[in-house]
Amino acid sequence: MSTFSSLGTTISSIFIRPAFLFYAIIISVFSLTVTACSDQNESEAAQFFLKGNLQLEQKEYAGAIHYYDEALAKKSDFADVHSNRGIAYLRLGELDKALEDFNKAIDIDRTFDQAYFNRAGALIDKHEFSLAATDLEQIRKSYQDSTNYYLKWGDLKSQQGYYEQALSEYDRSLTLRPENVQALVNRGVIYFTKKNFKEAQKDFEQALKLNPQQELAYNNLALIFARNKQPEKALQFIDRALDFDAVNPIYLNNKGYVLLLQNQFEEAKKLIDQSLTKAPENSYAHRNLGIYFLHKGQKTEALSAFQKSYSIDPSTDQIHAWLGEALFLNNQKEKACKMWRQGQSLGDEESSVKFTQKCK
């Protein structure tokens, strides 16, 4: 375990990266009835649709889109194809294209509940919370007994910052289906956010019992073990997450942080740099880079990294303490004290200690 004695800040006392949620979607299986009397285009469209679904299930999203394109070339008003192609675009991170497809599916069929459900998820990602809520209300009667319906409401409330409401929705989802792994992981995230780490750990561990392939649970447990000053165990879990997705920028940054805890600074920086190459707006990666620079005595570079982290997300955990320290080391005491005082007002204990020690 490493402590920067010159800074008075213990690395292991801060988080790596907030645990994060993942969202449920509903894949259309088939709604186009193909009979002996169907015309050739409809029959071919149906075949391309089924091929696209197979690719979607295998997470071959580009391949799925190719077959869905072929289906739509045969039958442009095939609502299920638009909905499923929207899912493929969503999985590729092409949010605007996904929304276009969900909108088109609903334009074709105003009663297409699955498309409303999936569009709600995309709207949550876009932070269009009011529109997402409208879509979910639209299908409440149809989905009132669906575990994933309340999972989606939980996701919406979570993204809005209404954590108690989110917990209530996830609880309802799990009442309907206790083995809903997504609801367990996402409820664990809320517990984590509320610093109820015991309950968070229980949810993540239960999720892994139900599905040992659940990579987000491994990632999120790594955060808890790191916080509990168990970097060796944290490393085991973050490595397991990386086994599933070796280039995930969140996982790479998290492993970099765990390596900082183990004094493997150069290897940590390599991973943090890789993370930033893939996700340059990750405020936690910039913060971790600042920690690395402080260890190396590069106070100017550290200040720049912390300022970048703060500019991206001023709620980044303990950024006020770290940025204040870098300002202080760069002979900017007044700004440092202001930063620590701000952190103190937000409940950051490290900022409070720094302010008391150096500003009074």
Give the confidence band of 115 by pLDDT, cuts at 50, 70, 90. very high
Average confidence (pLDDT) over 315-321: 88
Q: How far apart are CA 335 and CA 326, in angstroms?
A: 10
Whole-number percent of the chain with pLDDT over 90: 79
pLDDT for 13 equals 29
Q: Is 357 exposed, middle or buried (0-12, 13-18, 19+ CB in 10 A)?
A: exposed
**pTM, entire model:** 0.79
Q: Which residues contact 22 (CB under 8 A, 6 or more apart)?
A: 182, 185, 186, 216
pLDDT mean across residues, the chain = 88
Angle between helices 283-295 and 265-278 (to 10 degrees): 150
Homologous superfamily of 40-144: Tetratricopeptide repeat domain (1.25.40.10)
Residue 353 confidence (pLDDT): 93
The answer to whether residues 256 and 268 touch, using CB atoms and an 8 Å cutoff, is yes
Q: Tokens 């620079």 identify what position? A: 293
Using the predicted structure, report yes or no on whether residue 120 has a pLDDT greater than 50.
yes
> What integer pLDDT is reported at residue 35 of this predicted model?
41
Assign 53 a pLDDT band (cuts: 50, 70, 90).
Answer: very high
Where are the chain's structural domains? 40-144
What pLDDT digit, counting tens, does each position of 26-52 carry?
665 544 444 443 578 888 999 999 999
Q: Please write the tens of the pLDDT for every residue from 129-169.
A: 999 999 999 999 999 999 999 999 999 999 998 999 999 99
